Amino acid sequence: MAHLKTDKEHEAGRHRIGGARLRTALLLLVAAVWLLSVHGQTAAAADDSRGAGTAVPVAGANAASSAPYLSAGVALIRSQATRFVDGADAGDAALYGSRHRFDAGDLGDDLQFLLAVGARLPYRLRAQLEFGLARGLDWRGNTNYRASGGRQPSEATLDTRHFLLAGFHDFPGWEIAPGRPMRPFLGAGLGVTGYRLGGYAQRFPEPDDPQGSLRRGPGGQVPFTALPGGIGRNFTWRLTAGIAIPVGARSHLDLSYRYTDAGEIRTDAGDIAIVRYREEGARREIPVRINETTADYRTHALLAALRFEF
């Protein structure tokens, strides 16, 4: 198995990648908002030049009207702290074997990209079908096996995708320009989240007995345990609160906070690889079949999305 990076290298790489993704997404969003604002001002001027007898359509002004829309955005997501613990018993060995043993940690902040189609409905209601994708979310945790030291870092990578049907209610709000109201909204959604968990390893760099079973290899290699990955789908629900800011005659910038409960992520039942080093330096790998392990997956997110009505 490839050499595992140090904690500092992982953390530095994680911040560089996350920062680059965030800067790119924000630059694209700012550029899109600027273009829409310019387009909206041009369209409004053209409508005004037609004469006083021509009415300018105002999105959302009529509570009985409806219009389809397309929305695209990016969310900064943060997971709640959680624990991997023993899951369902499939007749194999339990990895932790006690409710006092677990792998505690969280997924690092990262970006999620979203695309939705929906419709504005009467009575300031909206409904939309949403697809979201997040790749390369980094799990960082710490296990607490006996006699394995106070620092037992773990790592894994998670990819997720979701489909949700969501409903929103737009409140009256207030005008920031003639005929352009800024509206707060609340929403809720139900759907399915699919996930893929991989690269899961637990390392033991500082065991209680450095010359015992968790001794390092002849080149300083750290003993570790590699766990099976996991693939699955979960029922998901979400709550949303936000505000819609008009940036054009038929376009809005939606800024919102979202809380999502996506059930559990699980490692599959299967063989773990226990990698250890003998006194003479020889590497040995011991396969042991275990039951699945599970962790709750709940996230907080700040979303910026552009919504275009047709």
Mean pLDDT of 264-269: 97
Supply 199's token pair.
Answer: 């690269």
User: pLDDT above 70 covers what percent of the chain?
Assistant: 79
Supply 219's token pair.
Answer: 């080149």
Q: Is residue 187 part of a domain?
A: yes
On the CB side of 152, CA atoms within 13 Å amount to 19
Q: Is the pLDDT of residue 161 over 90?
A: yes
Residue numbers of the domain that contains 122: 7-309
Give the global pTM. 0.78
Q: Is the pLDDT of residue 111 over 80?
A: yes
Q: Is residue 2 part of a domain?
A: no
Q: Is residue 153 part of a domain?
A: yes
Backbone dihedral region for residue 293 (phi beyond 0: left; psi -120 to 50: alpha; all else: beta) = beta
Place of tokens 């968790």: 214
Q: Could you give the CA distance from residue 44 to residue 58 in angstroms, rounded to a whole number?
A: 11
Q: Could you give the CA distance from residue 270 to residue 173 in angstroms, rounded to a whole number?
A: 54
Per-residue pLDDT at 249: 86
Per-residue pLDDT at 17: 45
Three-state DSSP at 247 gives strand
Closest by CA to 84, choosing from 275, 274, 288, 227, is: 227
Q: Is residue 269 part of a domain?
A: yes
Per-residue pLDDT at 178: 83
Q: Could you give the CA distance from residue 140 to residue 155 in angstroms, rounded to a whole number?
A: 5
CATH of the domain at 277: 2.40.160.20
Alpha helices in the chain (DSSP H): 7-48
Place of tokens 């990076």: 5
User: pLDDT above 90 covers what percent of the chain?
Assistant: 75
**Structural domains in the chain (count):** 1
Q: Is residue 104 part of a domain?
A: yes
pLDDT band (50, 70, 90) for residue 199: very high
Q: Is residue 69 part of a domain?
A: yes
Per-residue pLDDT at 180: 86
Supply 113's token pair.
Answer: 């990209």
pLDDT digits over 46-94, tens only? 344 433 333 334 444 444 468 999 999 999 999 999 999 999 999 999 9
Mean pLDDT of 202-223: 96
pLDDT band (50, 70, 90) for residue 166: very high
Q: Is residue 162 part of a domain?
A: yes
- Higher-pLDDT residue of 215 and 7 is 215
Q: Is residue 1 part of a domain?
A: no
